[in-house]
């Protein structure tokens, strides 16, 4: 198992309404149109990931798990896990954002395909904590 951990934060414009993707970006801003974005100001991007991690993700049989954890204003920690799979075309060359996809589409931002959830499927209490600007831990594991 390989793991990469990214720190980010929520933003007041997080709506998490996108039906086929979810995203964590290194941008420090978010417009209401960014309905797939869960967190901003990511301290790492796919281009920063270890080569062994990237190689493991290029196996079509690999199981990839993305976990989003955020602390709400009430001090409670909200957590959601999305499971997907690897793909031989994953490059992890993106230097701006991490995108999980329910489809098999791959570009330089794609971190997993065949996701069992998109932004719209995230728990609304978690989304509310993200919209409150909570600190986010985004963990990507490959097995």
Average pLDDT, the chain: 97
Q: For residue 36, how far is the Cα from the chain centroid?
A: 10
Confidence grade of residue 46 (pLDDT, cut at 50, 70, 90): very high
Q: In this structure, are residues 44 and 133 in contact, taking their beta carbons and an 8 Å threshold?
A: no
Q: What domains are there in the chain, each with its CATH number?
A: 2-142 (2.60.120.630)
Prediction pTM value: 0.96
3-state SS assignment for residue 142: strand
The per-residue pLDDT for range 103-127, each reduced to its tens digit, is 999 999 999 999 999 999 999 999 9
* pLDDT single digits (tens) 59-110: 999 999 999 999 998 899 999 999 999 999 999 999 999 999 999 999 999 9
C-alpha–C-alpha distance, residues 138 and 7, integer Å: 6
Question: What are the distances in angstroms from CA 70 to CA 30, 35, 78, 103, 114?
Answer: 17, 18, 5, 26, 24
How high is the pLDDT of residue 102? 98
Residue 1: band (very low, low, confident or very high) from pLDDT cuts 50, 70, 90: confident
Give residue 69's Cα distance to chain centre: 11
């Amino acid at each position: 198992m390989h793991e990469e951990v990214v720190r980010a934060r929520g933003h007041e414009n997080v709506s998490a309404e996108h039906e086929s993707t979810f995203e964590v970006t290194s941008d420090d801003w978010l417009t209401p149109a960014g309905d797939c974005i869960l967190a901003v100001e990511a301290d790492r991007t796919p281009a920063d990931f270890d080569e062994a991690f990237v190689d493991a993700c290029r196996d079509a049989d690999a199981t990839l798990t993305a976990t989003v954890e955020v602390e709400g204003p009430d001090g409670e920690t909200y957590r959601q896990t999305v499971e997907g799979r690897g793909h031989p075309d994953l490059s992890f060359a993106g230097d701006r954002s991490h995108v999980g996809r329910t489809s098999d589409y791959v570009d330089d931002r794609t971190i997993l395909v065949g996701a069992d959830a998109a932004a719209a499927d995230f728990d609304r209490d978690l989304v509310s904590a993200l919209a409150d600007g909570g600190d986010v831990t985004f963990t990507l594991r490959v097995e």
